[in-house]
Amino acid sequence: MELEELRKRITRLEDIEAIKRLKARYCEICDHEDYDPDAMASLFTEDGTWSGEGVGNAEGREAIRVLFAGFPKVIAGAQHIVSNPLIEVDGDRAHGVWYLIAAVTQSDGTTQSNWPGTAARYHEDYVKQNGEWKFRRVRVK
């Protein structure tokens, strides 16, 4: 195997691992009681988007921050479990699909832990900016 080919393969694996860490950080923020909207917004590009069926839509980092700042009014707590990542890297861009199962407690005290209410898929686009992967688009459906 040529040295250049080996370098490309290692870079691809490192990029996939960095995207997995980005997703883990996203889930950690979602599962914190205040959703830390500033930390969440920092995971997105300036023109990033987030959309969730029946939850809301946000275009731009500031709109994402505002959306997540409002989540504690509706969701008292959650535990995200994401799995089966399919991540395709193409240079400084990537696409991923993740399965989601989440136990959710609404602010009114009711819970959602049964199918299909908290089972979904994340469809995500990522961009590598200044050596760091960010979300460009997150769709939950």
Please state, in angstroms and rounded to a whole number, the distance separating the CA atoms of residues 29 and 102: 14
Closest to 62 measured CA to CA, from 73, 74, 48: 48
Closest to 65 measured CA to CA, from 43, 85, 97, 81: 43
Comparing 2-16, 71-85, 103-117, the range with the smallest average pLDDT is: 103-117
Mean pLDDT of 23-44: 95
Question: Model confidence over 80-137: pLDDT tens digits?
Answer: 999 999 999 999 999 999 999 988 888 887 766 544 457 899 999 999 999 999 999 9
Please state, in angstroms and rounded to a whole number, the distance separating the CA atoms of residues 84 and 68: 25
Closest to 138 measured CA to CA, from 72, 73, 82: 82
Q: pLDDT at position 112, please?
A: 61
Please state, in angstroms and rounded to a whole number, the distance separating the CA atoms of residues 126 and 138: 9
Task: Report which residue type is found at 64.
Answer: I
Say what the pTM is: 0.92
Q: What CATH number is associated with residue 95?
A: 3.10.450.50
Question: Model confidence over 48-66: pLDDT tens digits?
Answer: 999 998 889 999 999 999 9
Domain count, the chain: 1
Structural domain that includes position 17: 3-140
